[in-house]
Amino acid sequence: MKKLSIVFLAVLLTAALNLVAQQTATETIGKPDIQLENDLMTPEALWAFGRVSGQQVSPDGKTVLFGVSYYSIEQNKGNRELYSIGVDGENLRQLTYSPKSEFNAVWRPDGKKIAYLSSISGSVQLWEINPDGTRQHQISNIEGGITGFKYAPDQTKILFTKEVPIEKKFETLFEGLPRASGRLMDDLMYRHWDHWVNTYSHVFYTEYDGTKIWDEKDILQGEPFQSPLSPFGGIEQVNWTPDSKTIAYTCKKLTGKAATLSTNSDIYFYNLETGETTNVTEGMMGFDVAPVFSPDGKYMAWESMERDGYESDQNRLFVMNLQTGEKYDATKDFDQNAGNLLWSPDSKHIYFTSDWHGTFQIYRYNLEKGNIDKLTEGLHDYRSIDLAGDLLIATRNSMSMPTELYAVKIKNGSAKQITFTNKELLEQLTMGKVEERWMKTADGKDMLTIIIYPPHFDPNKKYPTLLYCKGGPQGPLSQNFHYRWNYQLMAANGYIIVAPNRRGVSGFGQAWQEQISGDYHGKSMGDYLTAIDEMAKEPFVDENKLGAVGASAGGYAVFYLAGNHEGRFKAFIAHDGIFNEEAMYLETEEMWFENWDKGGPFWEKDNKVAQETYAHSPHKYVQNWDTPILIIHGEKDYRVVFTQGMTAFNAAVLRDVPAEFLYFPDENHWVLQPQNALLWQRVFFDWLNRWLK
């Protein structure tokens, strides 16, 4: 009888927990139920896709942990929940139901718990749950919250990162002035990308007993430097050695003017027993980031750039023998970038991803033979990987499909889709054909151009056509499924999209990428015109209805083409574009970028590269502007300051050129809030439809 009562109570408790979970779930942002009026992509449909990320394979290699983010237009925010699924694609389970996002989720080394960060308690703290989603438990209570964490392999310690306030040098001057809003600076870099620099990130470690963490120790020991590196560096820049005795961290030990002029970051080893710090990449002058250790503890691999000040240098795979100290470039004969490094369990191979000819694929480096094999093919991007026995669990997307998880066989590169997060929505949509074309540039080079056709394309009709000008200016133009510059959404609105891999794009060798530095106005502009001119010859392209659109360096291209297009285009759109190069040099924050890509400051009259750059600044051609232009900018963009867009708009109006200025006071170099994103899309297509249809 007692046994029956216990079972009955367990059933009641389970029912109660399920009811609580359901009630909590109704407060969260979940998968939307969207029914489309037709089979064409809309901005609302784009924002209804679930965004899959952060796959982590369990220690036994059987289960994949991952997150899915959904966005609510009405609430103007997103929410991320955790899920698990078998590596075979079976047993999908939602693990969390919370109005606060869960992120940075990992398996505990013993596989008995899943840990993640969440602000459900008010500040971002470390939580653990059972693999089935039960028994949620808060592990940390760190003042101010934490930003990332990693278990030590032996599970006795945890490292974590958090923000540390910068020492206030002028605090006494503000005494008795509690309402004063002024900031007093005496050095660079006082703001970065989208925030004023009031703190820097530090790495800490602490003891862990399976229930909580305590007694935090700052391994940078109060140094005024940051680790990981902002704005894009995360916990991948910090790691444990396999013996749990050393923490490796990425840091650029420079401040102020020196920090804004240099990209020289290094990897440091902090020994927990002695408290000593060693710079293991000393003398290597570019970015050195993201250390990963072989399971046998003999090697460290990391991503390394060679030249100081060049943020788009080749991202090399470097390996260090920890016993001898020998370092070598594993990609010295591989004219591509390497990222997302992953060791094989036997320490004989390193898997990584790399872009080549408009796609990201998976590669494998053999330590013994020194050779690199390409494992995958196809018109899609593999962007992150984790190991599960003889499989790689990878995120994959394309221009026609948002990210899902795939199980890739290491033996032959064949792939099986294991998550179908957006299956119902995708089944309602017809995507346009994506085509690769090779074209001859003005100087006889071969250039890959991606063409995206409207759904239900009819070659007997004529279509307005958009030249897509890529930002960067370096970096890949690949198969990314973008949530603002979405090629399929543009095509669904009745436009053919022409996306050339012009000079400066990665994936075509380092020499091709470097040809844009100091020459934004030259070969790359010729490449743009080659692409649009070649497509304009097609009978289905309406050569009288051509437009050019782009953001950042793509916005520069739009501003430049507006004054140098010889009547080709009938409409322009520039988002966060560079208009006045001289102003840009003194407005932006990462001066290494300006000095490398522009050649230096405009006051160096004997600097031929710099003088050529500034002589061709887009604002120098505004007297030629005569074509309608939409300009978009965010005030929190400290990379390309919003006055660049404002002055371009003012110039257009003073020139009596039809113009509009869409200004976001609360967005940065991107547009991240759902309602602002929808407004962006509505204004974008309203402008194009007005002038090209």
- 20 pLDDT above the threshold of 50: no
**CA dist 474 → 477, 578, 618 (Å):** 9, 15, 19
**CA dist 579 → 61, 432, 554, 651, 687 (Å):** 52, 33, 11, 10, 20
Catalytic residue of the set 552, 565, 575, 576: 552
Q: Kindly state the tokens that stand for 462.
A: 């004529």
DSSP 639-663: SS-THHHHHHHHHHHHTT--EEEEE
- 25 pLDDT above the threshold of 70: no
pTM exceeds cut of 0.75: yes
Catalytic residue of the set 266, 386, 576, 637: 637
pLDDT attached to residue 432:
98
Helix (H, G, I), strand (E, B) or coil at 686: helix
Peptide bond into 165 cis (omega under 30): no
Residue 28 has a CB neighbour count (10 Å cut-off) of: 17
Question: What digits encode the pLDDT tens for the residues 75-102?
Answer: 999 999 999 999 999 999 999 999 999 9
Domains detected in the chain: 344-421 (2.40.128.660), 430-692 (3.40.50.1820)
- 185 pLDDT above the threshold of 50: yes
- 446 pLDDT above the threshold of 80: yes
- 184 pLDDT above the threshold of 90: yes
Question: What digits encode the pLDDT tens for the residues 602-642?
Answer: 999 999 999 999 999 999 999 999 999 999 999 999 999 99
Residue for token digits 């991803």?
A: 353
- 690 pLDDT above the threshold of 70: yes
Of the two residues 557 and 212, the one the predictor is more confident about is: 557
Q: How confident is the model at residue 651 (pLDDT cuts 50, 70, 90)?
A: very high
Q: Kindly state the tokens that stand for 676.
A: 């602002």
The sign of the torsion formed by the CA atoms of 675, 681, 686, 687 equals positive
pLDDT attached to residue 9:
35
pLDDT attached to residue 8:
34
Residues 357, 363: Cα–Cα separation, whole Å: 15
Averaged confidence pLDDT in the chain: 95
Residues 273, 254: Cα–Cα separation, whole Å: 26
Question: What digits encode the pLDDT tens for the residues 575-593?
Answer: 999 999 999 999 999 999 9
pLDDT attached to residue 10:
38
Question: What digits encode the pLDDT tens for the residues 357-391?
Answer: 999 999 999 999 999 999 999 999 999 999 999 99
Residues 233, 227: Cα–Cα separation, whole Å: 8
Q: List the 463-469 sheet strands across, edge first.
A: 434-440, 446-452, 496-500, 463-469, 541-551, 571-575, 629-634, 659-664
pLDDT attached to residue 4:
35
Q: Is 669 among the residues known to form the active site?
A: yes
Q: Is 552 among the residues known to form the active site?
A: yes
Q: Kindly state the tokens that stand for 549.
A: 């659109």
Residue 440 has a CB neighbour count (10 Å cut-off) of: 11
Structural element, H or E, at residue 584: helix 581-587
Range 162-191 average pLDDT = 95
Residues 611, 652: Cα–Cα separation, whole Å: 25
Helix (H, G, I), strand (E, B) or coil at 400: coil
Q: Is 5 among the residues known to form the active site?
A: no
pLDDT attached to residue 30:
84
Q: How confident is the model at residue 2 (pLDDT cuts 50, 70, 90)?
A: very low
Residue 435 has a CB neighbour count (10 Å cut-off) of: 11
Of 332, 330, 279, nearest to 301 by C-alpha is 330
